[in-house]
Amino acid sequence: MTAITTLFRCPVAVKASGLLTAEADLFPEERAFIRAAVPKRRAEFATARILARKALGTLGAVPIPLVPRPDRAPTWPSGYTGSISHCDNFCAVVVARSRDVVSLGLDVENRRELDRTMQELVLTPAERQWAAVQPEALRPTLPILIFSAKEAFYKCQYPVTRGFLDFQDVELAIDWMSGTYTARVLKPEWPAAVACLSGRFLIDDDRVGCGVELLPG
């Protein structure tokens, strides 16, 4: 997945790679944070921090520790924001200057079919109706696309609301031809600034990727 930058309209820096054996390059507080995790998670965490520092460096940020918050949300240097996603042996990080964007959400998933239970968890009744009438060749990919699109939306809205959303709380309108979607929160009390955001998606043979941004103003 080489075109992650195109998931965003604002100026961003993106770095992506397979898992790196990069623990030695972590700051001590990052190493301490991840010490008790299993090896795969330690590698994922380290890869994300190395890629994030590289991406931030291209925007002029000095390297600092990127220890997650207690709620697992990532932290960023003052003046910058970003988003991280992992899937099988792959990690991608997007960062931007805060003056260009309030918040970013990136999600990358292995392209796969979701079983019926997962589909019922992730897709709203309206999304299931929509998926059922799409061209047959697309249908196996739609549930994982909807999953990823909602995860990207969630990551973008979270820094603003610090609020939890269930998959059934968010409904998508997908425009297949333009590779765009709108994610709308179905809870009337949700803050207006993040109650409806647009996103973009990419699909290749192996992966599905989605990006959402909240622009200033």
Ligand X SMILES: CC(C)(COP(=O)(O)OP(=O)(O)OC[C@H]1O[C@@H](n2cnc3c(N)ncnc32)[C@H](O)[C@@H]1OP(=O)(O)O)[C@@H](O)C(=O)NCCC(=O)NCCS
Q: What are the residues binding ligand X (CB under 6 A)? A: 44-45, 48, 68, 71-74, 84-86, 107, 150-151, 154-155, 158, 165-167, 170
Nearer to ligand X, 69 or 137 (CB): 69
Instruction: Please provide the DSSP assignment of the chain as one string.
Output: ---GGGG-SS--EEEEES----GGGS-HHHHHHHTTS-HHHHHHHHHHHHHHHHHHHHTTPPP---PPPTTS-----TTEEEEEEEETTEEEEEEEETTT-SEEEEEEEE--PPPHHHHHHHS-HHHHHHHHTS-TTTGGGHHHHHHHHHHHHHHHHHHHH-----GGGEEEEEETTTTEEEEEE--TTS-GGGTEEEEEEEE-SSEEEEEEEE---
Q: How far apart are CB 154 and ligand X at their closest, in Å?
A: 4
Nearer to ligand X, 85 or 119 (CB): 85
Q: How far apart are CB 2 and ligand X at their closest, in Å?
A: 18
Q: How far apart are CB 79 and ligand X at their closest, in Å?
A: 18
Nearer to ligand X, 106 or 136 (CB): 106
Nearer to ligand X, 92 or 136 (CB): 92
Q: How far apart are CB 105 and ligand X at their closest, in Å?
A: 7
Nearer to ligand X, 137 or 190 (CB): 190
Q: How far apart are CB 152 and ligand X at their closest, in Å?
A: 8
Q: How far apart are CB 137 and ligand X at their closest, in Å?
A: 26
Identify the burial level of 103 via C-beta atoms within 10 angstroms of its C-beta, where 0-12 means exposed, 13-18 middle and 19 or more buried. buried
Nearer to ligand X, 44 or 100 (CB): 44
Chain length of the chain: 217
